Amino acid sequence: MLSKNINFILIRPQLGENIGAAARSLKNFNFENLRLVAPRDSWPNKSATYTAVDAKDIVHKAKIYLNNDEAVADLDFVFATTSRSRSVNKKIIDLNEAIKIIKKNSLNKKIGILFGPEASGLSNDDLINANYLVNIPTNVKFKSLNLSHSVTVFAFQLFLSSKKIEPFVKNLYRSEDAKKKEVQTFLNFLISHLDKVGFLKPEEKRQQMIRSIKNIFHRSLLSTQEIRTLSGVISSFIKFKERE
């Protein structure tokens, strides 16, 4: 499975909140392997656990390493995220190309994705073990992404690439789309009452006005229930007018 061989590696993360938010994103997108290299604050970290909410399990089983070499020792491919130009002999690819390479190799290879600390990102020394540098596209005038946001973007794109995504949020609205005949019946009812109140005047503009009204309702994807509701609204106005 795509997610089993992919490891998200946070290098010297500074804030427990970002670690927790990253863990939460991993669980959102069906990943579970989180590695931390020399987190600044004590570990386990209460802020990370609190921020992770229902992804506490990912925080609790995160693997901790003293340095980068240890963190990537068992991996086959390493991708390092960067938002700036580098003077290193590494190929820089965009996120889409990175996703393709990871997808192609993750079934039988172990993959690591490096993310740098909040204040400075990855240093040139952090990039030594990387096979590729990956640039996440952003506004060129403001390229720095929050650590957890970078993880979220990467995890989301991998998730989308892994399978056909079916929406799991169900639409519980039950009424069927109105047939054209139902719409026309409603329009006849509406137009007849617009004639009675003198709305469709002057006579030379009547057909143009009717055409505009019909276009509005035929263009809209109304349901049977909505047609009934509109008819009820108009009937209520008529009854109110008749009582005056």
Q: Could you write out the DSSP letters of every residue in 27-55?
A: HHTT--EEEEES-SS-SS-HHHHHHHGGG
Quick one: 134 and 228 in the same domain? no
Chain centroid offset of residue 3 CA: 18
Quick one: 158 and 184 in the same domain? no
The CB-side HSE value for 25 (13 A sphere, CA atoms) comes to 21
Is residue 73 one of the residues assigned to a domain? yes
- Among 129, 162, 195, the domain boundary falls at 162
Q: Name every residue whose Cβ is closer than 8 Å to that of residue 48 and which is 6 or more positions away in sequence.
A: 16, 17, 19, 20, 23, 59
Model confidence band, residue 73 (pLDDT cutoffs 50, 70, 90) = very high
Is residue 22 one of the residues assigned to a domain? yes
Residue of 30, 6, 2 whose CA lies nearest to 107: 2
The range of the structural domain enclosing residue 223 comes to: 180-243
Examine the pLDDT at 185 and tell me if it is beyond 60: yes
Q: Name every residue whose Cβ is closer than 8 Å to that of residue 232 and which is 6 or more positions away in sequence.
A: none
Quick one: 140 and 195 in the same domain? no
- Among 136, 162, 188, the domain boundary falls at 162
Chain centroid offset of residue 65 CA: 31
Quick one: 60 and 117 in the same domain? yes
The single-letter DSSP state of residue 132 is E
Quick one: 56 and 120 in the same domain? yes
Note the pLDDT of residue 163: 67
pLDDT, one tens digit per residue, over 88-129 is: 778 889 999 999 999 988 888 999 999 998 888 888 889 989
Examine the pLDDT at 1 and tell me if it is beyond 50: no
Q: How far apart are CA 212 and CA 197, in angstroms?
A: 18
Quick one: 156 and 187 in the same domain? no
Quick one: 88 and 149 in the same domain? yes
Q: How far apart are CA 104 and CA 89, in angstroms?
A: 24
Quick one: 156 and 125 in the same domain? yes
- Among 162, 192, 217, the domain boundary falls at 162
Note the pLDDT of residue 113: 96
Examine the pLDDT at 67 and tell me if it is beyond 90: yes
Long-range contacts of 90-94 (CB under 8 A, 24+ apart): 90/127, 90/130, 90/131, 90/132, 90/133, 91/132, 91/133, 92/132, 92/133, 92/134, 92/135, 93/132, 93/133, 93/134, 93/135, 94/134, 94/135, 94/137
Quick one: 114 and 196 in the same domain? no
Is residue 43 one of the residues assigned to a domain? yes
Q: How far apart are CA 2 and CA 32, in angstroms?
A: 11
Is residue 64 one of the residues assigned to a domain? yes
- DSSP structure string for 18-32: HHHHHHHHHHHTT--
Q: How far is CA 193 from CA 46, 117, 180, 239, 241, in A?
A: 67, 69, 20, 12, 12
Over residues 69-97, the mean pLDDT reads 88
Is residue 172 one of the residues assigned to a domain? no
Is residue 168 one of the residues assigned to a domain? no
Q: How far apart are CA 153 and CA 161, in angstroms?
A: 12
Quick one: 119 and 185 in the same domain? no
pLDDT, one tens digit per residue, over 145-168 is: 889 999 999 999 999 887 655 556
Q: Name every residue whose Cβ is closer than 8 Å to that of residue 217 and which is 6 or more positions away in sequence.
A: 183, 186, 187
Return the structure tokens found at 210: 């009717």
CATH number at residue 114: 3.40.1280.10
Q: Could you tell me what percent of the chain has a pLDDT over 70?
A: 92
Domains contained in the chain, number: 2
Is residue 173 one of the residues assigned to a domain? no
Is residue 103 one of the residues assigned to a domain? yes
Quick one: 7 and 112 in the same domain? yes
Note the pLDDT of residue 220: 79
Quick one: 209 and 140 in the same domain? no
